[in-house]
Structure 1
Amino acid sequence: MSNTRKMPQRKCVGCQEMKNKKELIRVIRTAEGEFLLDATGKKNGRGAYLCPSRECFQKAVKSRGLERSFKQAIPKEVYDALEKEMEALETE
């Protein structure tokens, strides 16, 4: 019997690829309706996952993947704020 642990798999809303949960960035909608990046993966709220790349973020915006996951329209200002947060994570 193998002792390897199963890693949770999640689908990127941009490229639609299944990847390990730890490889993806979680975007959450809080109960107050605010959208945030969740680097820890432990914040409360409805979540959607993205690859940590600009290309996947652009695909998610173009295909409305985040809107589909959250079942609501997302204002352009939110996309701009999320893009700035992702750029900050890429430079770290």
Structure 2
Amino acid sequence: MPASPWPTSTPRPLPRAPTRSKIPADQRRSPLRTCVGCRKVRPQDELVRVARTGDGSLAVGRTLPGRGAWLCRGSSSCLDLAGGRGGFARSFRAPVSASALAELRSAMAADQQS
């Protein structure tokens, strides 16, 4: 009987399924998001989510429904940049009125003071 062209060694074991991360929860990084004003990528904890409601107004809240845009927490300059560059309109895929931006500016200023 002729010799087999295939090796006769034992097959390799299949790789194991990936396991959960062994990094403790307090050392894991939070998800990264991009500020629509300054365009810097930061951890989600350092940003505030702004959502557009059905009536066209803007509201601050992490769990609000709909499309959201992220802004640097406590930065009025990022809010000005996002309004001027059209960052909100791009993120929401809908126009944002100047009155909605003014309401958001006053709401964020009140949050900073409290």
Please tell me the TM-score bracket, short chain as reference. Answer: 0.7 to 0.9
**Structure 2 matches for 1:1-92, cutoff 5 A?**
2-3=23-24, 4-38=27-61, 41-51=62-72, 52-92=74-114
Unpaired segments of 5 or more residues in structure 2? 1-21
Name the CA distance, whole Å, in 1 between partners of 2:70 and 2:96. 16
Check 1:78–1:33 CA distance in 2 against 1; reply closer, same or farther (3 A cut).
Answer: closer
Deviations 1:9-66 (A, max 9, x none): 100000000111111111002345442111xx12222111001211111111111100
- AA paired with 1:66? F
Give TM-score, length-normalised by structure 2.
0.72
Unpaired segments of 5 or more residues in structure 1? none
* Structure (1/2) with the larger helix percentage: 1
Name the CA distance, whole Å, in 1 between partners of 2:42 and 2:56. 27
Kept in 1: contact 2:36–2:88 (CA 8 A)? yes
* Structure (1/2) with the larger strand percentage: 1
Give TM-score, length-normalised by structure 1.
0.87
Percent identical residues:
33
State the structure with more CA Rg. Answer: 2
Deviations 1:58-80 (A, max 9, x none): 11111110011011111111011
Runs of 4+ in structure 1 off by over 6 angstroms are none
Kept in 1: contact 2:58–2:101 (CA 8 A)? no
Q: Which has the higher contact order (CA 8 A, sep 6+)?
A: 1
